[in-house]
């Protein structure tokens, strides 16, 4: 099974090498690695080019934002399974992709997801939040649950059948896509009960209170554009669930 891993990057000179090395050090060998750059100006492009043909596909061009760039990478992918590793993130271990691929094989599922940890930007060994997602239960979406997006890997044919990321969203297209795939269309999924990704703190939707409020509104809007009816408390429980990750 070929696994396509996509890294979206824009002016991430300080962290892009960590992300690339994390992919290239995986013990799983059948990996197609795609890097999509948004015309970085800080030296990121030169760092990526320094890896040569160890990166399967590399493009640096103007895009319409994060989700447009992700869609571009998905369209470039030829793997059986597609996942993301953002330029600020790294795999938890060299066996992470092997664990994901094994879960697909054992469960014959359309998608898989796992746990992740939020780590300090400078010291990636220092854990700040621990996101244990737990086994999938469809109704948990009503109570604010979602799988950790950086661990969510999906078969390519699902993207082709159900569509890509909605670029009308600024910071919650990942939530909308998982809600659409899992809750609305009921694709099958499997939980890998181990941490597979280290995610540096300071993501787009969480970096400011203003962004967090906007993301929460977008989360709620995701239900309506899919013809779904959340409970009145769904939008409030979703951010509250994050509090337990600090314990």
CA distances from 214 to 29, 87, 208 (A): 40, 23, 10
Q: What is the pLDDT of residue 207?
A: 53
* Angle between helices 234-241 and 209-225 in degrees, nearest 10: 130
The superfamily (CATH) of domain 3-246 is Spore Coat Polysaccharide Biosynthesis Protein SpsA; Chain A (3.90.550.10)
Please name the residues in contact with 176: beta carbons below 8 A apart, sequence gap of 6 or more.
165, 166, 169, 218, 222, 225, 226
pTM of the model: 0.92
In the chain, where the domains are located: 3-246
Nearest CA-CA partner of 118 in 144, 150, 84, 166: 150
Query: How far is 6 from 124, CA to CA, in rounded Å?
Result: 21
DSSP-derived letter for residue 171 is: S
Q: What is the pLDDT of residue 205?
A: 41
Q: What is the pLDDT of residue 212?
A: 64
Residue 97, SS3 per DSSP = helix
Tens digit of pLDDT at every position of the chain (247 positions): 999 999 999 999 999 999 999 999 999 999 999 999 999 999 999 999 999 999 999 999 999 999 999 999 999 999 999 999 999 999 999 999 999 999 999 999 999 999 999 999 999 999 999 999 999 999 999 999 999 999 999 999 999 999 999 999 998 999 999 999 999 999 999 999 999 999 999 754 445 556 767 777 899 899 999 999 988 888 778 777 766 666 6
Q: How many CB atoms lie within 10 A of CB 113?
A: 27
C-alpha 111: how far from chain center? 12
DSSP string, 179-227: IIIIIIS---EEEEEEEEEEEES--TTTSSHHHHHHHHHHHHHHHHHTT
């Amino acid at each position: 099974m070929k696994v396509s891993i996509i890294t979206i990057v824009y002016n991430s000179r300080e962290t892009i090498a960590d992300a690339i090395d994390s992919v290239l050090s995986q013990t799983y060998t059948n990996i197609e690695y795609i890097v999509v750059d948004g015309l970085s100006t800080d030296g990121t492009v030169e760092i990526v080019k320094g890896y040569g043909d160890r990166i399967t596909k590399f493009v640096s061009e103007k895009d319409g934002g994060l989700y447009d760039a992700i869609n571009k990478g998905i369209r470039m992918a030829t793997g059986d399974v597609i996942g993301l590793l953002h330029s600020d993130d790294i795999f938890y271990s060299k066996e992470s992709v092997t664990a994901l691929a094994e879960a697909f094989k054992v469960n014959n599922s359309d998608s898989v997801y796992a746990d992740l940890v939020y780590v300090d930007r400078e010291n990636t060994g220092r854990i700040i939040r621990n996101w244990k997602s737990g086994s999938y239960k469809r109704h948990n979406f009503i109570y604010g649950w979602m799988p950790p997006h950086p661990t969510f890997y999906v078969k390519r044919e699902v993207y082709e059948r159900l569509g890509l990321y909605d670029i009308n969203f600024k910071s919650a297209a990942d939530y909308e896509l998982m809600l659409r795939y899992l809750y609305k269309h009921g694709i099958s999924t499997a939980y890998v009960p181990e941490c597979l990704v280290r995610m540096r703190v300071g993501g787009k939707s969480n970096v400011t209170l203003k962004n967090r409020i906007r993301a929460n509104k977008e989360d709620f809007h995701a239900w309506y554009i899919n013809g779904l009816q959340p409970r009145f408390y769904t939008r409030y429980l979703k951010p509250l669930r994050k509090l337990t990750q600090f314990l």
